[in-house]
A and B are shown apart, each in its own frame.
Chain A
Amino acid sequence: MQQYIVRRILQSIPTLLGITLIVYFIMLLAPGDPVSLLAFDPTIRQDERERLAMQLGVNDPFFVQYLRWLIGDDWMMVDSNFDGELDAWGDNYGILRGDFGRSFKFRGSNPLTLISERLGATIELNIAVLLVGLTSGIVIGVLAAVMRGKAFDRFTRIFAVIGDSVPSFWLGLMAIVFFGLMLPRVLEGYAIGDGRPLLPMGGRCPPVRGGCPPVYMRLQYLILPTLVSAFGVVAVWSRFMRASMLETINSDYIRTARAKGLAKRDIWFRHGLRNAILPFTVFLGPTFLGLIGGSVIIERIFTWPGVGLLLFDALLSRDHPVIMASVVIGSVLTVVGYLVSDILYAIFDPRVRF
């Protein structure tokens, strides 16, 4: 077991390296070279440009630049005063030691600090989505399998396809139109409320100084984004749960339990569900990944101040260090998510051999 975990962790190292390679390569394709960006000066002389280019190292081969970005340059001599001679140690620590450079937009702050400030919001929302989505998905799926062929089952199957097809951003917009505009108007007609939305339509907490209060003080801000995001999760998980539960129900040991005369509830939930739920540790990774990726959209619609919104703003203002840091951190989280889900699977399923 320990051997398996260690091997699995070692396996993710080449993946992480590959991720940094891909991200760096894509960013090199970005229009506008750093020299013209930094020296935004029409009177700059050609030899000054060349010196600046040499100092920034933009003429170096791809892999040299990549390595400098990855492991930093504080172990080599660089040209610090533009005179074409190597005269000082570098001061860039490289992303492996947490140095993603400095944000262009937020006055030189460290991208990692920016991300860690926002990560809490993203994780808070995603935990809420997972809680709501998984619980209802599993319950709906199990009930559908138990009531196979009945109206409830047929309804959930249609619901699952609909849940896959409706884009979450549109669902979010519709939720805002309905809860923010239509419902208050209708309620006002019946003299309930004053025509203002019943739920906050965006943000994480009321705009006050000193950050947001603890979660339980502002649950109403979580409701809409969570429900909209969880819709797709419920669709996927209820379908998988139904299939897995059906497979389990038709297996021999369930027949044995039935022959013994156990109560139906015991059969389904104590014998069936335990085994049917096993494959789902595997789906946790992909679900988590989907949620991180989708955070850009959900956070944009509900102006939820998380990493997705940070990435969105960074892309609009071409804040390259922040963009690269968010993508790399998002990918690292994904890799960790896959890792945890694989290890959980190995722990929970004794049939897995290492």
Chain B
Amino acid sequence: MKTKRFSALAHVAEREAKSDYRPSLTLWQRGMWRLRHDRTTLAAMFTVALLASLSLLAPTISDALNVDPNTQDLRNNYAPLLSEGHLLGTDELGRDHLSRLLYGGRISLGIAISAAILTLGIGVAVGVYAGYYGGIIDDAIIWFITTLNSIPYLFLLILITSVLSLAPLTLVLIFAVLGWTGVTRLVRAETFSIKERDYVIAARATGASDWRIMFVHIVPNVFSLLIVGLSQGMGGLILTESALSFIGFGIRAPIPTWGNMLNGGLDYMRRAPHLLILPGLLISVTVFCFYLIGDGLRDAFDPKIAD
């Protein structure tokens, strides 16, 4: 009996080797293949990578151009674009606009990326836990999420940020503590359906612990949801951070971020509108690219879309 089965398998293997049979692609492989052929998403990824590396290289670039984001020069304020020594002009205190934009990008992108990752971590942990165990813990978590989501998000944010003194790291923590609910809802709903599937039941039958089932069998299956959420979360967080800094309750001067560079812009827009245009343009382009990447990833890793 046993030998017969093995020979049957050998036969199949032999036939596969002879023909031009290709093993079917895994979801992951197919997704990567689609991504490589999606020019819009690739362009968006390239733009984000470019902006991120420019921001990372902010000190080097500033040194090379012989400018500094915090040196004031009151005799040379409101310099227009392409003026001598300052490619993108200077702001109301005569500080170099280009290097402030680059340093601002470090803070804005840094906050958005780290907060999105932290949000995802909390969201997945709570969501899988609530979805897997259900019961009274789940009810409590859902009540908390509903409550948190019923307070207008920006009201809650400025309430907290007006109470706490803010370093960029604190802001990351605040974003994560307030932002995990969306991910949790997604992951919880998926976990509910996945935990009834055969392979989870099989894993339990072989004696796998709850932790192993949750993080080895369930989490990988919500992974494609998560990378989409990550990309869109980063875009959303850049918007939130800049809105917060714009009205003066986020990161405060002298640390530049794209948001607080627009703060008070209403006062000097008559003299130097470019100081308003550029930071906002950078915010919009970055968020646009993050959203495009999110859309591209969703299309690439959606198992329901056939080739």
A residues whose Cβ falls under 8 Å from a Cβ of B: 14-15, 18-19, 22-23, 26-27, 29-31, 161-162, 164-170, 173-174, 176-177, 181-182, 289, 292-294, 296-297, 300-301, 311-312, 315, 318, 323, 326-327, 330-331, 334-335, 338
Whether A174 touches B277, Cβ cut-off 8 Å, given contacts A169-B262, A312-B247, A315-B158, is yes
A14 in complex: contacting residue of B143, B160, B239, CB < 8 Å: B143
A-B contact pairs, 23 of them (CB 8 A): A15-B150, A18-B144, A18-B147, A19-B147, A19-B151, A22-B147, A26-B156, A30-B163, A31-B165, A167-B239, A167-B283, A170-B262, A170-B280, A177-B269, A177-B273, A177-B276, A177-B277, A289-B153, A300-B247, A311-B158, A318-B162, A327-B156, A334-B151
By the criterion CB–CB under 8 Å, are A174 and B276 in contact? yes
B12 within 8 A of A: no
Q: CB-CB < 8 A to A14: which residues of B? A: 143, 147
Contact with A along B288-304 (1 / 0, CB 8 A): 10111001000000000
B159 within 8 A of A: yes
B170 within 8 A of A: no
By the criterion CB–CB under 8 Å, are B246 and A161 in contact? no
B155 within 8 A of A: yes
Among B147, B155, B242, B292, residue most surrounded by chain A Cβ atoms (within 10 Å): B155
Q: CB-CB < 8 A to A318: which residues of B? A: 162
Whether A330 touches B155, Cβ cut-off 8 Å, given contacts A19-B147, A173-B269, A177-B273, is yes
B152 in complex: contacting residue of A27, A166, A334, CB < 8 Å: A334
By the criterion CB–CB under 8 Å, are A161 and B295 in contact? yes
Cα A73 to Cα B151 in complex, Å, equals 26
Cα A27 to Cα B151 in complex, Å, equals 14
Q: CB-CB < 8 A to B107: which residues of A? A: none
By the criterion CB–CB under 8 Å, are A174 and B247 in contact? no
Cα A315 to Cα B159 in complex, Å, equals 8
CB distance from A123 to the nearest CB of B (A): 14
A171 nearest CB neighbor, chain B only? B280
CB distance from B283 to the nearest CB of A (A): 6
Cα A193 to Cα B48 in complex, Å, equals 43
Q: CB-CB < 8 A to B216: which residues of A? A: none
A296 in complex: contacting residue of B158, B163, B277, CB < 8 Å: B158
By the criterion CB–CB under 8 Å, are B150 and A296 in contact? no
B294 nearest CB neighbor, chain A only? A161
Cα A59 to Cα B52 in complex, Å, equals 49
Q: How many residues of B contact A (CB 8 A)?
A: 44
By the criterion CB–CB under 8 Å, are A18 and B143 in contact? yes
A167 in complex: contacting residue of B154, B242, B291, CB < 8 Å: B242
Q: CB-CB < 8 A to A181: which residues of B? A: 269-270, 273
B residues whose Cβ falls under 8 Å from a Cβ of A: 143-144, 146-148, 150-156, 158-160, 162-165, 235, 239, 242-243, 246-247, 249, 262, 265-266, 269-270, 273, 276-277, 280, 283-285, 287-288, 290-292, 295
Q: CB-CB < 8 A to B246: which residues of A? A: 167, 169, 297
Q: CB-CB < 8 A to A162: which residues of B? A: 284, 288
CB distance from A34 to the nearest CB of B (A): 14
By the criterion CB–CB under 8 Å, are A311 and B243 in contact? no
B249 in complex: contacting residue of A289, A293, A315, A326, CB < 8 Å: A315
Q: CB-CB < 8 A to A165: which residues of B? A: 235, 239, 284-285, 287-288, 290-291
Cα A144 to Cα B145 in complex, Å, equals 35
Q: CB-CB < 8 A to B153: which residues of A? A: 289, 293
Q: CB-CB < 8 A to A297: which residues of B? A: 154, 243, 246-247
Q: CB-CB < 8 A to B270: which residues of A? A: 181
B151 in complex: contacting residue of A22, A164, A338, CB < 8 Å: A22
By the criterion CB–CB under 8 Å, are A15 and B147 in contact? yes
By the criterion CB–CB under 8 Å, are B150 and A170 in contact? no
Among A167, A327, A338, residue most surrounded by chain B Cβ atoms (within 10 Å): A167
By the criterion CB–CB under 8 Å, are A161 and B277 in contact? no
Cα A250 to Cα B151 in complex, Å, equals 38
Q: CB-CB < 8 A to B249: which residues of A? A: 315
Cα A26 to Cα B156 in complex, Å, equals 9
Q: CB-CB < 8 A to A323: which residues of B? A: 159, 162
A165-B235, A167-B283 known; 9 other A-B pairs, CB under 8 Å?
A: A19-B147, A164-B235, A164-B291, A165-B284, A167-B243, A168-B243, A170-B262, A181-B269, A296-B155
Q: CB-CB < 8 A to B155: which residues of A? A: 292-293, 296, 311, 326-327, 330-331
By the criterion CB–CB under 8 Å, are A161 and B292 in contact? yes
